[in-house]
């Protein structure tokens, strides 16, 4: 888990990026977490003699970057806002997190769905994108699976809150999967920080 101090510093916008370069960004593919059918849906299907289809995840694209070294490193999943993935978010926050010693996975929830924006309506499935990204990172050998957090901007902040709230959408997930409860929400009116945090 990230310390409260580390979370507080990550919540605010950092003052600048470290000169130490991260390893080259990598485009990765993973799936959103599949949603198991609710107990009601399963019971209804049994009563009707129907077979409930196996849940499938949505193919997603993400941008993975990490600090120099072998790790294991703490990591942050970054969820974009309703306007989609900006260059500032994709590279700026990834570089900032890497300079602080964190692996960054910036999730593009819209590319594979052919969506331009969701500013007029919320895409509720993004919470499962967050779960899929968390599971993807937890499976990487250079990531410390006990120190993975979510960071969201605007509508990505809503998905972050949904993913971390107790008894939320998590109850629809595989109970064997261990979910984390670290959330970082960023809005435009937060103050800047003058020093980066260290993991």
Tens digit of each residue's pLDDT (9 = 90 or more) over 48-73: 998 888 788 899 999 999 999 988 99
Of residues 110 and 54, the one with the higher pLDDT is: 110
The pLDDT tens digits for 138-174 are 899 999 998 999 888 988 888 888 887 766 555 444 4
pLDDT at position 64 is 96
Q: What is d(CA 67, CA 58) in angstroms, rounded to the nearest whole number?
A: 28
Q: Tokens representing 66? A: 């990490």
Q: Evaluate whether 107 touches 33 at the Cβ level (below 8 Å).
A: no
pLDDT at 99 over 90: yes
**In percent, how much of the chain has pLDDT > 70?**
71
As a whole number, the mean pLDDT across the chain is 76
Instruction: Flag whether pLDDT at 103 surpasses 90.
Output: yes
Alpha carbon distance 44, 60 (integer Å):
31
At residue 59, the pLDDT reads 94
Locate 14 and state its tokens.
């950092």
**Domains contained in the chain, CATH given:** 4-186 (3.40.50)
The 10 Å CB-count burial string (b at 16+, else e) for 15-36 is eebeeeebeebeebebbbbbbb
The 10 Å Cβ neighbour count of residue 170 is: 19
Edge to edge, the sheet with strand 183-186 lists 26-31, 59-65, 103-108, 73-79, 143-153, 183-186
Is pTM, for the whole model, over 0.85?
no
Tell whether the model's pLDDT for residue 187 goes beyond 50: no
pLDDT score at 123: 83
Q: At which residue do the structure tokens 């990026």 appear?
A: 17
């Amino acid at each position: 888990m990230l310390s409260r101090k580390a979370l507080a510093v990550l919540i605010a916008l950092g003052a600048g990026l470290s000169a130490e370069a991260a390893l080259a960004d990598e485009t990765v593919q993973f799936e959103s977490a599949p949603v198991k059918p609710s107990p009601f849906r399963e019971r209804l299907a049994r009563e009707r003699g129907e077979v409930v289809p196996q849940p499938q995840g949505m193919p997603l694209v993400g941008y993975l970057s990490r600090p120099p070294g072998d790790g294991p490193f703490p990591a942050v999943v970054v969820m974009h806002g309703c306007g989609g993935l900006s260059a500032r978010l994709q590279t700026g926050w990834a570089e900032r997190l890497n300079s602080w010693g964190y692996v960054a996975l910036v999730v593009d929830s819209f590319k594979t769905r052919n969506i331009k924006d969701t500013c007029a309506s919320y895409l509720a499935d993004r919470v499962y994108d967050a779960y899929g990204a968390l599971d993807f990172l937890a499976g990487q050998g250079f990531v410390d699976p006990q120190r993975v957090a979510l960071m969201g901007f605007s509508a990505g902040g809503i998905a972050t809150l949904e993913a971390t709230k107790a008894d939320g959408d998590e109850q629809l997930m595989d109970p064997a999967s261990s979910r984390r409860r670290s959330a970082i929400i960023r809005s435009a009116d937060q103050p800047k920080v003058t020093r980066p945090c260290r993991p």
